[in-house]
Amino acid sequence: MSLSGTQRIWLTGATSGIGRALAERLLADGHRVALSARGEADLEALAAGRDNALLLPLDVSDRAAVARAGERIAEAFGGLDLALLNAGTCEYLEAGRFDVDLVERVFAPNFHGAVYCIDAALPLLRRARAEGGRPLLAATSSAAAYLPLPRAEAYGASKAALSHFLEALRLDLHGEGIGVSLIHPGFVKTPLTDRNDFAMPLRIEADQAAEAILDGLARRRLDIHFPRRFTLLVKLMGILPPALRHRLGLRLVRTATTTETAP
């Protein structure tokens, strides 16, 4: 299922993995898309020959730069029908070498950067609502937000914070007619997951992820999660009693240790 009509969209994290697959699909469908990512050359290559693309090179952890991007979108589009916040990173924490800098690096784009983008996008979503539209704010979290996992202290916490923030914001924006959708992918083949040193069950391609996301957005689902065989299991594990959840988590720690030390 595709998004209806021609929409004004801001997509962050647009040049890699899920973001690139989304960008290619949205541009091909004829939407007006403001594309943000850190690499200007990659953005130019992505948008080559597309007159419906607005290029906004951007590091989402730079609050002032995000504010300027919002101003440029306002000038070009007038408002936003969809803010799709997809930028993020992943690093795994080794408890034996506890690294506060790593935690801050992960939270900068995954949580604080998303908050900066929400701040810039909300006035534009409100303009679309004033025009009679049904604007939507969406962000890519992770299935890791459902369940604490070994070595995912920084990544999982940043995504759990994002999910909590947006679920609370959804309640406060309801009266304004602005929808909020959260995206919780399982494992998707991207440059980030290609670096993982552990098994990734039911990993899907980025194009499949983009299809699931766009279908969920078109249906205005509150929680867009996939592949469902994997994410439903993770959700179930997340609501188990703490002692049982702890025992299951310890099995994953042993598996990770065996993988890392194998010849």
> Which residues are tagged catalytic?
155
Which amino acid is it at 248? L
HSE-CB of 168 using CA atoms within 13 angstroms: 7
For residue 48, how many other CB atoms are within 10 A of its CB?
8
- Whether the CB-CB separation of 145 and 163 falls below 8 Å is answered with yes
d(CA 62, CA 257): 36
Sheet arrangement for strand 223-226: 53-55, 32-36, 8-12, 82-85, 136-140, 179-185, 223-226
Residues near 148 by beta carbon (within 8 Å), at least 6 away in sequence? 156, 245, 249
- Whether the CB-CB separation of 261 and 203 falls below 8 Å is answered with no
Counting runs of H as helices and runs of E as strands, what totals does the chain give?
A: 9, 7
d(CA 189, CA 6): 29
Reference 80, options 113, 57, 56, 110; nearest CA is 56
